[in-house]
Amino acid sequence: GNHQHIGKASTMARDSPAGQKVGLIAARRTGLLRGTKKIKDA
């Protein structure tokens, strides 16, 4: 498998400066998000 571990996230924040926005921008996690940590907001 020729997959290299990037180490930093390959996606950029949407409000990052214009020069950073090369490649993937602000990827959304789609689908049914399973097993997310439940935070008790009391």
Question: Taking 80 as the threshold, does the pLDDT of residue 3 lie above it?
Answer: yes
Question: Taking 80 as the threshold, does the pLDDT of residue 16 lie above it?
Answer: no
Q: Residues 25, 11: contact at Cβ < 8 Å?
A: yes
Strand partners, 25: 12
Distance CA 10, CA 16 (A): 13
| Residue 33, pLDDT score | 77
Question: Taking 80 as the threshold, does the pLDDT of residue 39 lie above it?
Answer: no
| Residue 2, pLDDT score | 85
Q: For the chain, give the mean pLDDT.
A: 76
Question: Taking 80 as the threshold, does the pLDDT of residue 23 lie above it?
Answer: no
CA distance from start to end of the chain: 46
Whole-model pTM above 0.75?
no
